[in-house]
């Protein structure tokens, strides 16, 4: 199950309904659940109200209930650890930064070395907390234009210090974050990183324009102790570059040697559109059959239909519920 924010955790605390939401998917053959984005313990990490925290006694008690419910149904679960970076909305306490890349008028705060160290320490604390709560690993939200991705993206990262410039330098923040998390959890606990070319505010953005760029990007991440890559694309089967049929997930797997999750409009006939209908799953099967990826993450299909996994397993594809149909049903 792909990570999908829902804003159903009042005050940042996952409720019993959140536990049941994930448990229902686990009950129907989802093997690994990547949680919605959950804020690390840093004062500028959050932006969107009612998204869950991954710190504080109440929130962590909620997450302990969530992971226990998922495990009771036989699935594994990683929390996705999130710092929104300059996606913070103006006036959202305790800071008021707005992303200028999205048209905001307020300038962002340029992170100092001390700021960077504080955020890295918060990610490491969150990883250790996840391990203590019984999660099976953690995922860093490093995609879609949020903080980790802002360092990777040349349009957002105009730094002239050791964190800016070359691809490898822009990857330094992610690598140091992974390294600190690895020290906190030991060698066996899985650490995943979600990456994307496209951003919420720019669907044509790139962080890598060739296989060589991917190699420069991923080498320091692997050296830091990364376990798994989660590659988000607009369409799961779309070739990454014009001179090769390999998908972006396929390239990251080939270059890194790590297991890779592929994600992007699985089972939808109009990728990238909210009103997408259902489509055959041939592309997903093809990627797995040729060993281009290790896992497939399903997003909107599972959001709309908690029984998606069982229906696919049993060949009941005609019974899958589409997102719009599900929403209409709830309104009626």
* pLDDT given at position 321: 81
Whether residue 321 contacts residue 309, with contact meaning beta carbons closer than 8 Å, is answered with no
Nearest 5°: CA angle at 160, between 156 and 166? 70
Q: Is pLDDT above 80 for 326?
A: no
- Least trusted range by pLDDT, from 42-46, 55-59, 162-166: 42-46
* Euclidean distance between CA atoms 148 and 142, whole angstroms: 5
Q: How confident is the model at residue 269 (pLDDT cuts 50, 70, 90)?
A: confident
* pLDDT given at position 154: 94
Which tens digit of pLDDT belongs to each residue from 170-194?
Answer: 999 999 999 999 999 999 999 999 9
| 3-state DSSP of the chain | CCCCCCCCCHHHCCCHHHHHHHHHHHHCCCCEEEEEEEECCCCCCCCCCCCCECCCHHHHHHHHHHHHHHHHCCCEEEEEEECCHHHCCCCCCCCCCCCHHHCCCCCCCCCCHHHHHHHHHHHHHHHHHHHHHCCCCEEEECCECCHHHHHHCCCCCCCCCCCCCCHHHHCHHHHHHHHHHHHHHCCCCCEEEEEECCECCECCCCCCCCHHHHHHHHHHHHHHCCCEEEEECCCCCCECCCCCCCEHHHHHHHHHCCCEEEECCCCECCCCCCCCCECCCHHHHHHHHCCCCCEEECCHHHHHCCCHHHHHHCCCHHHCCCHHHHHHHHHC
Domains of the chain: 10-331 (3.20.20.70)
Which tens digit of pLDDT belongs to each residue from 89-134?
Answer: 655 544 444 455 555 556 678 899 999 999 999 999 999 999 999 9
More confident residue, 267 or 275: 267
* pLDDT given at position 297: 96
33: nearest Cα among 309, 326, 304: 309
* pLDDT given at position 298: 95
Q: How confident is the model at residue 332 (pLDDT cuts 50, 70, 90)?
A: very low
- 39 given a catalytic annotation: no
- Catalytic one of 21, 22, 97, 146: 146
Q: Is pLDDT above 70 for 228?
A: yes
* Euclidean distance between CA atoms 22 and 20, whole angstroms: 5
Which tens digit of pLDDT belongs to each residue from 156-165?
Answer: 999 999 999 9
Q: How confident is the model at residue 270 (pLDDT cuts 50, 70, 90)?
A: confident
* pLDDT given at position 103: 55
Q: Is pLDDT above 80 for 277?
A: no
Q: Before 94, cis peptide (omega within 30)?
A: yes
Q: Is pLDDT above 70 for 274?
A: no
Instruction: Tell me the pLDDT of the chain averaged across its residues.
Output: 91
* pLDDT given at position 95: 43
Give the rounded percent of residues in the chain with a pLDDT score beyond 70: 90
More confident residue, 294 or 100: 294
Query: At which residue do the structure tokens 């259902």 appear?
Result: 278
């Amino acid at each position: 199950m792909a990570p999908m924010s829902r804003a159903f955790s009042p005050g940042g605390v996952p409720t019993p309904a959140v536990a049941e939401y994930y448990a229902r998917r686990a009950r129907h053959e989802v093997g690994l659940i990547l949680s919605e984005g959950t804020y690390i313990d840093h004062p500028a990490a959050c932006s969107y109200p009612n998204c869950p925290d991954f710190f504080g006694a109440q929130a962590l008690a909620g997450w302990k209930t969530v992971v226990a419910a998922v495990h009771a149904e036989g699935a594994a679960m990683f929390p996705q650890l999130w710092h929104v970076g300059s996606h913070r909305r103006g006036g959202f306490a305790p800071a008021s930064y707005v992303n200028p890349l999205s048209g905001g008028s307020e300038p962002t705060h340029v992170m100092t070395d001390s700021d960077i160290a504080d955020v890295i320490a918060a990610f490491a604390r969150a990883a250790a907390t996840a391990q203590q709560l019984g999660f099976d690993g953690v995922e860093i939200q490093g995609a879609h234009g949020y903080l980790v991705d802002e360092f990777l993206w040349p349009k957002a990262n105009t730094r002239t210090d050791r964190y800016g410039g070359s691809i490898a330098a822009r990857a330094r923040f992610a690598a140091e974050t992974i390294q600190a998390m690895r020290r906190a959890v030991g060698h066996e606990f899985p650490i995943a990183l979600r990456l994307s070319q496209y951003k919420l505010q720019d669907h044509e953005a790139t962080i890598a324009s060739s296989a060589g760029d991917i190699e420069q990007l991923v080498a320091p991440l692997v050296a830091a102790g990364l376990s798994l890559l989660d590659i988000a694309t607009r369409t799961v089967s779309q070739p990454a570059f014009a001179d090769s049929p390999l998908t972006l997930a396929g390239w990251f797997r080939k270059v890194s040697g790590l297991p890779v999750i592929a994600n992007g409009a699985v089972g939808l006939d109009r990728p990238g559109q909210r009103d997408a209908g259902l489509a055959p799953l041939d592309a997903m099967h093809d990627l797995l059959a040729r060993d281009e990826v290790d896992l497939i993450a399903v997003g909107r299909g599972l959001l709309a239909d908690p029984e998606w996994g069982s229906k696919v397993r049993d060949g009941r594809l005609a019974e899958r519920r589409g997102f719009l149909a599900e929403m209409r049903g709830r309104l009626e």
